[in-house]
Chains A and B, each alone.
Chain A
Amino acid sequence: MPSLKDIRTRIDATKNTQQITKAMKLVAAAKLRKAQQQIVSMRPYAQGLMYVIQNLVKADSVKHPLIKGSLGEQVELNSSEAKNLLLVILTSDRGLCGGFNGQVIKFSEAFIEENKTQYDKIDVFIVGKKGAEYFARRGAEAVEVIYRLDKDISYNLATQLGSKLTEYFTSGNYQEIKFVFNEFKSAISQKVNCEQLLPITHKAHVQEGISKELNLVTPEARQFIFEPASELILNELIEKHIVVQIFRYLAESVAAEHGARMTAMENATNNARDVISKLTLTYNKIRQEKITTELTEIVSGAEAL
């Protein structure tokens, strides 16, 4: 049986841990709010861009190297082409966030395993230290690794990433670029998602009423003057669209990370509370037993006299 002192030390230690987890939970909650705000305030811009792109493509049936087929239809890739896939995996730099990183990594590995036969080569591009460490342990070489995401998910980072990935795509190194990331559903739930960045094939969901909200109209409805030509406008719009998409993936991932950490820390705090109450119970039991033993000893000692 542990001594009273041992138990007291354990209670103190657990209390300290509880304090830390509680503080971490509060910090995560504050950061989560900020990240959430970022996602929400970005929406009109992103949706507006997508709306304009879709309508420009529809009106002029413009062909663009970054768009496969016309928007809205899922295009089957030609099987005779060489196909290299670049998988961009978004993880976090720090741990203590529940299954956040595990989920993404598990999903990515399953995805690679499943689609091995469809592609000639699948490479990974990793964002976040946790993912990088994992894949390094596995001996899988990443094309590139980026750290320190949560410190600044600045628009600049997305811009850099965007031009880099577009370069990979246009130079013919990769025929497809997909992102695997945790999508932010709510503070307590994240969902691992895989979305294709390039080529742009699927119809992105444009929210109903966005055109009204931003006073945007479709080009076919009017006699627009284009300045420069509509293809050039489209070029620039698509470039920005890619950046915005990447920015959204990053922002979703960061928000999901904070959400996951908040939940994990909440659970940890609750567990610590349970442990403390159990330990306190044992502590009191042992204390009482000890008093009883001492009393019995005294009484029997007195009787013996």
Chain B
Amino acid sequence: MFKLTIVTPEKTIIKDAELAEITLPAHSGELNILPGHSELMTVLTAGKLSFKLMDGSLFDYAIAWGYCQITPEGVTVLAEKAFDKDQINIGQISKEYKQLEDKINQETLEDKAYFDLIKQMHEIRAQLELKS
């Protein structure tokens, strides 16, 4: 039994589902997990999280930050934000993306503010990529 559980502050997306395969945007690059993976604790960055259940159904989510724990029993993800395709409003997001780009192009930004904006930009880019 290799189980998948994903929770966000807004809801529990999936719980104890039988997992066949999952791809995560991990700290040091994309990570593909199959049953029997060695035990791992990692943080996730903004990107696309997709998984396939034992019954063959496929799911894709755009996530922001996350924490992930992999054990022989399964995978648990605590994601800060997770959107599926239907939740993403392309018009609104592209607008936000433009605004962020404009802000980033200003030269007066401090380092911290700059990195915050870059982070937000990655989040939005993940959503855009999922939608397209």
Interface residue B94 (Cβ < 8 Å from any Cβ of A): no
Interface residue count on the B side (C-beta < 8 Å):
30
A235, closest chain B residue (CB): B43
Q: What residues of chain B lie closer than 8 Å to A151, measured between beta carbons?
A: none
A215 in contact with B5 (CB, 8 Å): yes
Task: Please tell me which one of the listed residues A41, A45, A225 contacts residue B38 in the complex, with CB atoms under 8 A apart.
Answer: A225
Please, how many angstroms separate the alpha-carbon atoms of A48 and B77 in the complex? 10
A237, closest chain B residue (CB): B67
Task: Please tell me which one of the listed residues B7, B26, B28, B74 contacts residue A48 in the complex, with CB atoms under 8 A apart.
Answer: B7
0/1 string, A206-243, CB within 8 A of B gives 1: 00000001111101001111111010110011001000
Interface residue A187 (Cβ < 8 Å from any Cβ of B): no
B43 in contact with A233 (CB, 8 Å): yes
Q: What residues of chain B lie closer than 8 Å to A42, measured between beta carbons?
A: 9-10
Task: Please tell me which one of the listed residues B8, B27, B28, B69 contacts residue A45 in the complex, with CB atoms under 8 A apart.
Answer: B8
Q: Given A41-B11, A214-B7, A217-B71 in contact, is the A227-B39 Cβ separation under 8 Å?
A: no
Please, how many angstroms separate the alpha-carbon atoms of A28 and B26 in the complex? 42
Interface residue A7 (Cβ < 8 Å from any Cβ of B): no
Interface residue A244 (Cβ < 8 Å from any Cβ of B): yes
0/1 string, B47-81, CB within 8 A of A gives 1: 00000000000000000010101010110101011
Q: What residues of chain B lie closer than 8 Å to A155, measured between beta carbons?
A: 9-10, 80-81
Q: How many residue pairs at the A-B interface have CB separations less than 8 Å? A: 85
Using a CB–CB cutoff of 8 Å, the interface residues on chain A facing chain B are 38, 41-42, 44-46, 48-49, 52, 155, 163, 213-217, 219, 222-228, 230, 232-233, 236-237, 240, 244, 247
Q: What residues of chain B lie closer than 8 Å to A247, measured between beta carbons?
A: 9
B42 in contact with A226 (CB, 8 Å): yes
A215 in contact with B73 (CB, 8 Å): yes
B116, closest chain A residue (CB): A163
Name, among A230, A240, A247, the residue most crowded by chain B CB atoms within 10 Å (CB to CB). A240
Q: What residues of chain A lie closer than 8 Å to B109, measured between beta carbons?
A: none
A52, closest chain B residue (CB): B67
Between A and B, 23 residue pairs with Cβ closer than 8 Å are: A41-B9, A44-B7, A44-B12, A45-B8, A48-B7, A49-B67, A52-B78, A155-B9, A155-B10, A214-B76, A214-B78, A215-B71, A215-B73, A215-B74, A217-B69, A217-B73, A222-B39, A223-B39, A224-B40, A227-B26, A227-B40, A228-B42, A233-B42
Q: What residues of chain B lie closer than 8 Å to A244, measured between beta carbons?
A: 9
Q: What residues of chain A lie closer than 8 Å to B71, measured between beta carbons?
A: 215, 217, 222
A53, closest chain B residue (CB): B67
Q: What are the nearest 6 A-B pairs in CB distance?
A: A227-B42, A44-B7, A42-B9, A225-B40, A45-B9, A45-B7
Please, how many angstroms separate the alpha-carbon atoms of A215 and B38 in the complex? 16
- With A226-B41, A228-B42 already in contact, 13 other A-B pairs whose C-beta atoms are closer than 8 Å: A41-B10, A44-B7, A45-B7, A48-B7, A155-B80, A215-B3, A215-B69, A215-B73, A224-B41, A227-B26, A227-B41, A227-B42, A236-B65
